[in-house]
Structure 1
Amino acid sequence: MSRILIQNGRVIDPSEGVDRVTNLLIEGDRIASIDTSQMCADTVFDATGKIVAPGLIDIGVQLREPGFEEDETIATGTAAAIAGGFTTIACLPNSNPPIDTQASVEFVQLQAARASRCRVEVLACVSKNREGAELAELGALSQEGVVGFTDAMKPIANPELMRRALQYSQMFGRPILNRPEVPELTRGGVMHDGLQSTLLGLAGMPTEAEDLMTGRDIRLAEATKGQVHLLGISAIDSVEQIRRAKARGVNVTASMFAANFAADA
């Protein structure tokens, strides 16, 4: 059994409450010890100044296959994920054709298995062809092992469609991931609606577009007992709504885009 020693790295594992500079010993494919005093191993890495952490998870990856292979394939996308430290990714369904049938789910699963890079979970469409008009076969797709449903970056604008999707969410134990935007308020927008958009002469997207959709989805999740995940929140009012909803037991979670850590407009 091979032994790998990683020395002097900042070991971070939120699940175990670990965040300190220490040594880590790996035996075979298992972590054998943290804070080890063992100094001998088959391979030794000096991780001074580096972070040692469990594999990262990306819940919204656009693998672009099928339909957009000139941009990326499942093989190249998963290779890039591993190179960046991501061991599990969830594939968005905005391919061509979209992932809205059992056959399209099986295609992604097969290509991911062939690539054999990282673990690939599949997110299927909420609506057929991502058109927002008719629900996809959520029950059949659940049986294929999808981990959730989303129309990717296309908001689910129809409240009745969202309500029914959340009912199925409660039934099948799969979350509905929605981009919290009112399309009529964001159409053509490229940045936050404010001073900078005015100075640059660019179309802006008002905060209210996110606030309204966030509130709607929280209310529907509360009424149906379904699970909603809000993709790419960026407004403080949305954060406050989510915080209050979680406090009263609503099954709501949220994420934000990395770009929002670097820019506020």
Structure 2
Amino acid sequence: MALYIKKGRVIDPANDVDRISDLKIENGQIVGHALALAEEATKDDVVIDAEGKLVIPGLIDLHCHLREPGGEAKETIATGTRAAARGGFTAVAAMANTTPVCDSQSGVEFLLKRSKETGLVRVYPIGAITKGLQGQELAEMADMASCGAIAFSDDGKTVARSDIMRRALQYSQMCERLIICHCEDDDLVHEGVMNEGYWSTLLGLKGIPTVAEDIIVARDIMLAEATGASIHIAHVSTAGAVEIIKQARARGVDVTGEVCPHHLALTDAAVEGFNSATKVNPPLRTEKDRQALKKGLRDGTLTILATDHAPHTTEEKAREYAYTPFGISGLETAWPIYWRELIEDKVLTVNEMVAALTVHPAARCNLPGGTLAVGAPADITIIDPQREETVTLDGWASQGKNTPFLGWKLRSWPIYTLVGGRIVMKNREIVDEL
């Protein structure tokens, strides 16, 4: 039995393809694409009518938190991957800040095993840089790389010691893996809970200055330049960080940066009213920073879009703003938020936005996917660019309901997600059975 996707606008930036075409899928792979190919379909085949829709490589998220093991009240691999499928993602890279921390071969193997047992999309483990995320001793990087870790990060914490970070960058080259940097000067962050500025003063909340991010971005880039290593800056949020990355890339440093939906769509003004769903790390910044991120995407300084999906329980997010945990549940609204901020605001072309969510993250971590080429895995997302929905919790797949976008009316939504040729989301609903 074959599966055909009929008359869609096929966009494959990896191969410079943008045309109306049919796709044919067999045995989990793309086996052909040409106009009118679906006319070959027999009564036993499945045909998806994609006329007026975008047919793109499955979205790849290089930055999410699945919480398992240890945080199953917030999210599990099962629920997190279903949230990913509903958001159009066919692959996610899971950060290491679980309990216990994914800092050893056994931690990577657990994640891969559980993902195979309960996951709905592909899950790629990211191993910790340091043991227990304590920043004092390197984790078992070579062992983790050998059994499937695609990168290393202490995300959620900064590797404060420069000697440890330098050594990690040197080891990462031997392992041929990327270092993903969480950039905050902890002494400057201290007990801050939002961006330092007008709104933190008005609301009486302790602020986090932008320079706390900029300093560590500069340090990590300098260390990467000194060692010749490759690094990726997670959740870039400040105008200063964008400029530092831009200058480094101009010098030939192998550094990339990612942007998250909330930093493009919101500013620190959203904290007014003390909605705990707006508390995120790094914090929502100013309009100047928001526009700098867009400019960085437009000029190619920033090349990857990620979610930093960070689910929490309703009880945790019901606390006072200062005591509620940082994080936004972002997988299910990422695409339409990006569409609103980047396509409707004419920051990127559709092809450029697709590339930032597919071929660029795949290339950065040497992952399969990110293309619709014949012979590639049939990881495919179909988008209805005209579909409008108001964000509600109806049908919400993640256990984390902590989204600041409730009530927003957004256009352009994923309507099909296929992983290895299997339909896992159809018409905004999860499909669990083969």
- In the superposition, the TM-score normalised over structure 2's length comes to 0.57
**Matching residue of 1:18:** 17
The one-letter amino acid of 1:104's match is: G
Between 197-206 and 60-69, report the one with greater CA deviation.
Answer: 197-206
1:85 aligns with 2:101: no
CA contact under 8 A between 1:24 and 1:31: conserved in structure 2?
A: no
**Matching residue of 2:303:** none
Task: Please state how far the C-alpha of 1:72 moved relative to its aligned partner.
Answer: 1.7
**Matching residue of 1:216:** 219
**Matching residue of 1:51:** 54
**Matching residue of 2:123:** 120
Distance 2:206 2:77 in 1: 34
1:264 aligns with 2:267: yes
**Matching residue of 1:37:** 36
1:110 aligns with 2:113: yes
SS of the equivalent of 2:57 reads coil
Task: Please state how far the C-alpha of 1:197 moved relative to its aligned partner.
Answer: 2.2
Task: Please state how far the C-alpha of 1:39 moved relative to its aligned partner.
Answer: 5.3
CA contact under 8 A between 1:232 and 1:256: conserved in structure 2?
A: yes
**Matching residue of 1:70:** 73
- CA separation of 1:116 and 1:206: change in aligned 2, threshold 3 A: closer
SS of the equivalent of 1:103 reads helix
The CA deviation string for residues 18-37 of structure 1, in whole angstroms up to 9 with x for no partner, is 345x2322232315114x13
Task: Please state how far the C-alpha of 1:246 moved relative to its aligned partner.
Answer: 1.5
The one-letter amino acid of 2:108's match is: V
Distance 1:81 1:19 in 2: 25
CA contact under 8 A between 1:170 and 1:224: conserved in structure 2?
A: no
Which of 142, 145, 151 is residue 145 of structure 2 equivalent to? 142
CA contact under 8 A between 1:168 and 1:226: conserved in structure 2?
A: no
**Matching residue of 2:391:** none
The CA deviation string for residues 208-233 of structure 1, in whole angstroms up to 9 with x for no partner, is 11111111001000001111111111
Task: Please state how far the C-alpha of 1:12 moved relative to its aligned partner.
Answer: 2.4
Task: Please state how far the C-alpha of 1:48 moved relative to its aligned partner.
Answer: 4.4
SS of the equivalent of 1:6 reads strand
The CA deviation string for residues 103-152 of structure 1, in whole angstroms up to 9 with x for no partner, is 11111111111125222111111111111111112122222221111112
SS of the equivalent of 2:93 reads strand
The one-letter amino acid of 1:11's match is: V
Q: Using CA pairs below 8 Å that are at least 6 residues apart, which structure has the higher relative contact order? A: 2
Task: Please state how far the C-alpha of 1:193 moved relative to its aligned partner.
Answer: 1.7
Task: Please state how far the C-alpha of 1:199 moved relative to its aligned partner.
Answer: 2.2
Distance 1:78 1:19 in 2: 29
Between 48-57 and 250-259, report the one with greater CA deviation.
Answer: 48-57
Distance 1:88 1:177 in 2: 17
Task: Please state how far the C-alpha of 1:169 moved relative to its aligned partner.
Answer: 1.2
**Matching residue of 1:60:** 63
Equivalent residue pairs, number: 262
SS of the equivalent of 1:153 reads coil
Between 62-71 and 197-206, report the one with greater CA deviation.
Answer: 197-206
5+ residue gaps, structure 2, are 269-434
SS of the equivalent of 2:259 reads coil
Between 52-61 and 22-31, report the one with greater CA deviation.
Answer: 22-31
1:27 aligns with 2:30: no
Task: Please state how far the C-alpha of 1:192 moved relative to its aligned partner.
Answer: 2.1
Between 36-45 and 151-160, report the one with greater CA deviation.
Answer: 36-45
**Matching residue of 2:4:** 4
SS of the equivalent of 2:224 reads helix
Which of 163, 166, 170 is residue 169 of structure 2 equivalent to? 166
Distance 2:119 2:216 in 1: 38
CA contact under 8 A between 1:197 and 1:203: conserved in structure 2?
A: yes
The one-letter amino acid of 2:24's match is: I
**Matching residue of 2:203:** 200
The one-letter amino acid of 2:22's match is: L
Between 129-138 and 200-209, report the one with greater CA deviation.
Answer: 200-209
Between 145-154 and 110-119, report the one with greater CA deviation.
Answer: 110-119
The one-letter amino acid of 1:27's match is: I
CA contact under 8 A between 2:24 and 2:38: conserved in structure 1?
A: no
Distance 1:116 1:262 in 2: 29
The CA deviation string for residues 159-178 of structure 1, in whole angstroms up to 9 with x for no partner, is 11111111111221111111
SS of the equivalent of 1:53 reads strand
The one-letter amino acid of 1:23's match is: S
Distance 2:11 2:189 in 1: 39
Distance 1:231 1:118 in 2: 22
CA contact under 8 A between 1:126 and 1:136: conserved in structure 2?
A: yes
Which of 249, 253, 264 is residue 252 of structure 2 equivalent to? 249
CA contact under 8 A between 2:22 and 2:38: conserved in structure 1?
A: no
CA contact under 8 A between 2:65 and 2:94: conserved in structure 1?
A: yes
